[in-house]
Structure 1
Amino acid sequence: MDQTIEARGLTKRYGDQLAVDDLSFTVQPGRVTGFLGPNGAGKSTTMRLVLGLDAPTAGTVTVHGRRYAELPRPLHTVGALLDARAVHPGRTAAQHLLALAQTAGIGRERVDEVLGLVGLSGVAGRRAGTFSLGMSQRLGIAGALLGDPPVLMFDEPVNGLDPEGIRWIRGLMRDLAAEGRTVLVSSHLMSEMALTAQHLLVLGRGRLIADTGIDDFLRQNGDETVLVRTDEVDRLARLFRRTGATFEARDDALHVLDRTATEIGKLAAGEGIALTELTPTRGSLEEVFMALTEDAVEYGVRA
């Protein structure tokens, strides 16, 4: 069965505002796809379009080859967390999940199972209105998992989680993908996306900027430098100047911008300069993302 999320020419306008602009992409199963973009880039709108909560102005988006409204058993097909606080505050965690389960023919035993999966068994009888944001996130994830769906979408799922919770959800996302599910995760935490996602969709002002594996994204968009350490740093710096290499001196090391590690090693060896470290490096996901999207920031501080 086709487990992809597929958008073709997807466009959404709210009056004069173009929120999503001619998006075409496919989210494949078996990997975590990170959905990145600055505030206002159109990520949440795109997720709402996938779930049929908003109607596209143009184009289509399907799950399992169908529009969400056409899915015969939607809760068994797509699980989603868009707003962790969208829970009746007077209901207990168990009551909230049971109400969802009853609309989809899911038994009480599955409610107990997902409460255990997200670590909320001990507070199943507490009212959701008393939950912290982190606990609400766990409850929202339980709701997404309730129908054991092959397609999962999470919008900022780590908000409010403590370090243990962040580590837990990181492992959960990767485990779900390893089971062959389609997992789409939106987050502003680049450090978490670097550890969790295998593929990236990057938006800017509603348009698709990148659709690629995370390693390819860093390689294609980030500048590679070579970190060099030696006990003869002044002598090596003079050698670099003499041979026209571009470099920066930082933290007792030289960062070379326009030579490969092999070239630097041969150059130093030719002068009899012993190197204690020779490490190619690239910018972090956060650095590369910020550089790539700086012209697509909707709300930012202007110098």
Structure 2
Amino acid sequence: MIVATGLTKRYGSSVAVDGIDMVVEPGRVTGFLGPNGAGKSTTMRMALGLDRPSAGSITVDGRAYADLPAPLREVGALLDAGAVHKGRTARDHLTVLALSNGIPRRRVDEVLDLVGLTGVADRRAGGYSLGMSQRLGIAGALLGDPGTLLFDEPVNGLDPEGILWIRTLMRSLAAQGRTVLVSSHLMSEMALTADHLVVIGRGRILADTSVRAFLDEHAASWVRVRGPRPAELAAALGTAGLEVDALADGALAVRGAGAPDVGERAADAGLVLHELTTVQASLEEAFMQLTADSVQYSAAVPDRHLVPAGA
């Protein structure tokens, strides 16, 4: 279990993390989300003793990382896949970690096999692709068979098979009762992977809730309806006080009522329906809505007339 209490980090006059209180519980995958510069990586670095809090604390199973007697056996982390000596092979890199932490050599082969690097284990890490480097970083995190795992953007550089693999791995680790904290900008992937969400913006907690509760609160749903007489259908629904918008494929987007009510309105008007579906907004849409005021680096949308043709 990871517990942060009043966790704060200042760099001069800048506040990167501002009084965070959170509990990352075992047995579930917790997605740690936020815009760039929100304080996610800084929080993870403080959890691993790489940065010292300006105030407050963050502990793993009740102890600061520096006080853990065998850190790699208790906490595994992937913060930077490039933090590997480029002249060492993957096997040598993991062997050094194992020997320095009292971990049996056989565990090196086990994690190489687990992450799919056995065939390239004796190649120098400097020749690895980004995806291979990610797998090596994950192998290092798993080396001590720890009960707590922190992953910062673990799917960067992975192909679709690799993304499915890391998703399955994280969920299986949580199912074993481990604490799993994952930071990612891929909202679609977090929707499939995480059980719980902690959303941070400008160093402060914006949400700490289950994925389902987060969607229910921040992702508005609407009704997609389609029939052979769309103009009459739109008029009937509009007369009933519902908000109706035409979609490009001829269907209608209806807001202000659920699917059963929309269907009944159409029936009252004697109109046939070919489609009646409730559409739930995505996690990405909900996240963007919640963090709209917390984005520090927001790019303007270019005027299409200013973009050269073929650029």
TM-score by length of 1: 0.97
Per-residue deviation, 1:241? 2.0
| Aligned match of 1:252 | 250
Task: Give yes or no for the alignment of 1:146 onto 2:143.
Answer: yes
Runs of 4+ in 1 over 4 A off after TM superposition: none
How far apart, in 2, do the equivalents of 1:66 and 1:229 lie? 58
d(CA) in 2 for partners of 1:249, 1:282: 18
The answer for the alignment partner of 1:36 in structure 2 is 33
1:144-163 deviation per Cα after TM superposition (whole angstroms, max 9, x unaligned)? 00000011000011111111
1:126-137 maps to which residues of 2 (within 5 A)? Answer: 126-137=123-134
Per-residue CA deviations over 1:197-224 (Å, capped at 9, x if unaligned) read: 1111111111100111111111101111
- Partner of residue 98, structure 2: 101
Map of 2:306 onto structure 1: none
Q: Distance in 2 between matches of 1:32 and 1:279?
A: 30
Amino acid in the other structure paired with 1:296:
S
Out of 45, 56, 60, which is 2:57 matched to? 60
- Cα deviation digits, residues 223-243 of structure 1 (max 9, x gap): 111111112211111101222
**Counterparts of 1:133 and 1:242, CA distance in 2:** 56
For 1:190, the equivalent position in structure 2 comes to 187
Q: CA deviation at 1:83?
A: 0.3
Is contact 2:199–2:208 with CA below 8 Å preserved after alignment? yes
- Give the Cα–Cα distance (whole angstroms) in 1 for the partners of residues 253 and 281 of structure 2: 12
1:14-93 matched pairs, under 5 angstroms: 14-93=11-90
| Letter of the structure 2 residue corresponding to residue 275 of structure 1 | L
Identity of aligned residues (%): 63
3-state SS of paired residue (1:275): coil
Aligned 8 A contact 2:237 2:262 in 1: no
Residue 264 (structure 2) aligns with: 266
- What letter matches 2:254 in structure 1? V
Matching residue of 1:234: 231
Distance (whole Å) between structure 2 residues aligned to residue 100 and residue 302 of structure 1: 45
| Residues 189-198 or 137-146, more deviating | 189-198
Structure 1 unaligned regions, length at least 5 = none
Rounded to whole Å, the distance in 2 between the matches of 1:198 and 1:27 is 11
SS of 1:239's equivalent in the other structure is helix
Residues 16, 203 of structure 2: 8 Å contact kept: yes
Letter in structure 2 aligned against 1:51? L
Q: How does 1:216-235 map to 2 (within 5 A)?
A: 216-235=213-232
Q: Which amino acid aligns with 1:299?
A: Y
Whole-Å separation in 2 of the counterparts to 1:41 and 1:299 = 10
Cα offsets for 1:24-67 (capped at 9, x unmatched): 01011111111111100000000001001101011111100111
Aligned ranges 1:279-294 → 2 under 5 Å: 279-294=277-292
Tell me the residue number matched to 1:176.
Answer: 173
